[in-house]
Amino acid sequence: MTARGSLPLPAMDIDELDRRYRTLRGWVPPHVVKLLIERGHVDVVRREAEDGDWFCAKELAQELRERGEVDDALRVIRPYVDTAWWIAAAELSELLEGRGDADEAIALVRPYAEAGELLAVERLAELLVGQGHIDDAVSLLRPRVSNFYLARVLVKLTAGHGRDDDVLAIAQAMVDDKQRRIDTHQAQTWNAEPWNAELLLAALLERQGRVDDALQVLYAHAHPGKAYTNGNAVEQYLDVLAGHNREEQLREYASGSGGAEAAFRLATWLEEQGRADEAVAVFQPFVADKSADAATRLAQLLVRHSRVDEAIEVLRQVPVWMGGEYECVVRMLGELMLAHGRVEDALAIIDDLAQRAGGMSYELCLERCWLLHTAGRSEQAIAELRAHPEAGEWYGALGIAAVLADGGRVDEAIEVLSPPEFQNTVLVELLIGQDRVEEAIEVIHRERLGWDGDDPWEDQAAAG
């Protein structure tokens, strides 16, 4: 392989591939690869793939497959598979299966599964089921159901294959064994594996039409009166109630131990039934208690039903309730007010928040300038961004560049982001948009993109 940029691209070994896959260091980010392909720079993507860039190889293979050039796609991926890297083998198995070579895909994946690679076990099970070998898939997964993920895979892949009774027995045994370990103090409720055993049992019961039995299993773990409440059980319990139109039970749970989450699920169900006014009524007590979450959800509901003025009134006080972390609410409020010609009112809200906070934070300044720019006052927006004390930081440069680029002043945006300390994927995308592709690739190869610092996984391993 060749070297480009100030640092050589990695040798094709598993450790280096894994490092780059986790950190994106020196590789073209996936969304940028897609952009290159969309703009016709397939030759650049191929070159980078041949030089060891996995993301380029993967996206190129997908593009070739869509063109019907499957053999060429396989040739792109195989050098990575030759390193025995599972990520590449998984991709190759998809290509082989798509070409009709499922047996070859199974042969490729099986050694990884036998070596204990979790996702390889799932992939092998998928391939077996796809070939009609449901018994083999169950036999593969059955001894591995102590792993919560593979237990879930077993339940998912067997749906519709006439094995529900067998899988239900497996799930019941999982629940019984888990409870035995808890009772004999070999495990604690919160960490007994598989943690989702009861949820899977309930899913199977529901799948068999035993809705009341499923609800009984879930409620035992969704009742806050217990020492430990499983949040996933609460969510699934609510979904089963809503999915089977159990309005009375939904209301009872929402008004009792279910709390806000149950009330919000009830409101969603009511809206789905065309009962928007009742859904609004569910949210109102929570909004009266200054719940920012409830107010945001209520505003979204009101907007969906063209009650924008009401939504604005609901949202106006939310940033004050939330304290410092309110940018998402300010953006939503600004969009609504801007759409109704109330730009000055929206700006006044931001200025009031800044005054309350003792000064205009950069985040608030960005929201203010987004409003100005969207309202057609781009020069004022750029001037205010440049005048902010944090304009010289990388995120300050990014904000200025975003306004410039959105206003069609791409070359100026590129100039703002050109200092090495400011370089990021936005600069890369802007350069590609100007057909300055080699400059964009050079920025990536400087390894300024990706995780900013040492590999956190390596640090964790060292500490362990």
Of the segments 223-237, 299-313, 316-330, 446-460, which one has the largest average pLDDT value?
299-313
What does the angle CA 431 – CA 436 – CA 441 come to, to the nearest 5 degrees? 80
Please list the helix, strand and coil fractions of the chain in percent, rounded to the nearest 5, in that order. Answer: 70, 0, 30
pLDDT at 2 over 80: no
Q: Are residues 327 and 417 in the same domain?
A: no
- Does some domain include residue 241? no
420 Cβ contact partners less than 8 Å away, ≥ 6 residues apart: 446, 448
Q: Are residues 406 and 449 in the same domain?
A: yes
The answer to whether the Cα torsion of 47, 52, 58, 64 is positive or negative is positive
pLDDT at 177 over 70: yes
Question: At 324, is the pLDDT very low, low, confident or very high (cuts 50, 70, 90)?
Answer: low
The CATH number that applies at residue 379 is: 1.25.40.10
Distance between CA atoms of residues 387 and 366, nearest Å: 12
At 339 the three-state DSSP class reads: helix
Amino acid 453: pLDDT: 42
What number is the average pLDDT over the span 352-372? 93
Amino acid 420: pLDDT: 87
Question: At 335, is the pLDDT very low, low, confident or very high (cuts 50, 70, 90)?
Answer: very high
Distance between CA atoms of residues 157 and 201, nearest Å: 15
Question: At 225, is the pLDDT very low, low, confident or very high (cuts 50, 70, 90)?
Answer: low
Q: Are residues 379 and 398 in the same domain?
A: no
Tell me if 367 sits within 8 A of 330, measured CB to CB.
yes
- Does some domain include residue 347? yes
Compute the half-sphere exposure of residue 277: CA atoms within 13 Å on the CB side of its CA.
0
pLDDT at 455 over 50: no
- Does some domain include residue 67? no
Residue where one domain finishes, among candidates 356, 385, 414: 385
Closest CA to 7 of 427, 421, 447, 449: 447
- Does some domain include residue 28? no
- Cis link prior to 194 (omega < 30° from 0)? yes
| Structure token pair of residue 36 | 């290159």
Of the segments 185-189, 193-197, 430-434, which one has the largest average pLDDT value?
430-434
- Using a 10 angstrom Cβ sphere, with 0-12 exposed, 13-18 middle and 19 or more buried, the burial of residue 228 is exposed
Amino acid 4: pLDDT: 37
- Does some domain include residue 459? no
Q: Are residues 355 and 449 in the same domain?
A: no
What number is the average pLDDT over the span 382-410? 96
Q: If residue 305 lies in a helix (H) or strand (E), which one and from where to where?
A: none
pLDDT tens-place string over residues 253-267: 999 888 899 999 999
Amino acid 142: pLDDT: 97
Q: Are residues 298 and 373 in the same domain?
A: yes
pLDDT at 122 over 90: yes
The per-residue pLDDT of the chain, averaged, comes to 90
Amino acid 107: pLDDT: 98
12 Cβ contact partners less than 8 Å away, ≥ 6 residues apart: 1, 52, 79, 80, 82, 83
pLDDT tens-place string over residues 15-60: 889 988 998 888 999 999 999 999 999 999 999 999 999 999 999 9
Give me the domain span that covers residue 365: 283-385
Distance between CA atoms of residues 275 and 129, nearest Å: 42
Instruction: Note the pTM of the prediction, 2 decimals.
Output: 0.86
Residue where one domain finishes, among candidates 385, 416, 442: 385
Residue where one domain finishes, among candidates 385, 417, 434: 385
- Does some domain include residue 220? no
Q: Are residues 365 and 409 in the same domain?
A: no
428 Cβ contact partners less than 8 Å away, ≥ 6 residues apart: 29, 32, 440, 443, 444, 449
pLDDT at 133 over 80: yes
Distance between CA atoms of residues 377 and 375, nearest Å: 6
Q: Which single residue is written with the structure tokens 């919560």?
A: 148
- Does some domain include residue 376? yes
Question: At 78, is the pLDDT very low, low, confident or very high (cuts 50, 70, 90)?
Answer: very high
| Structure token pair of residue 23 | 């950190």
The number of distinct structural domains making up the chain is 2
| Structure token pair of residue 186 | 């070999």
- Does some domain include residue 431? yes
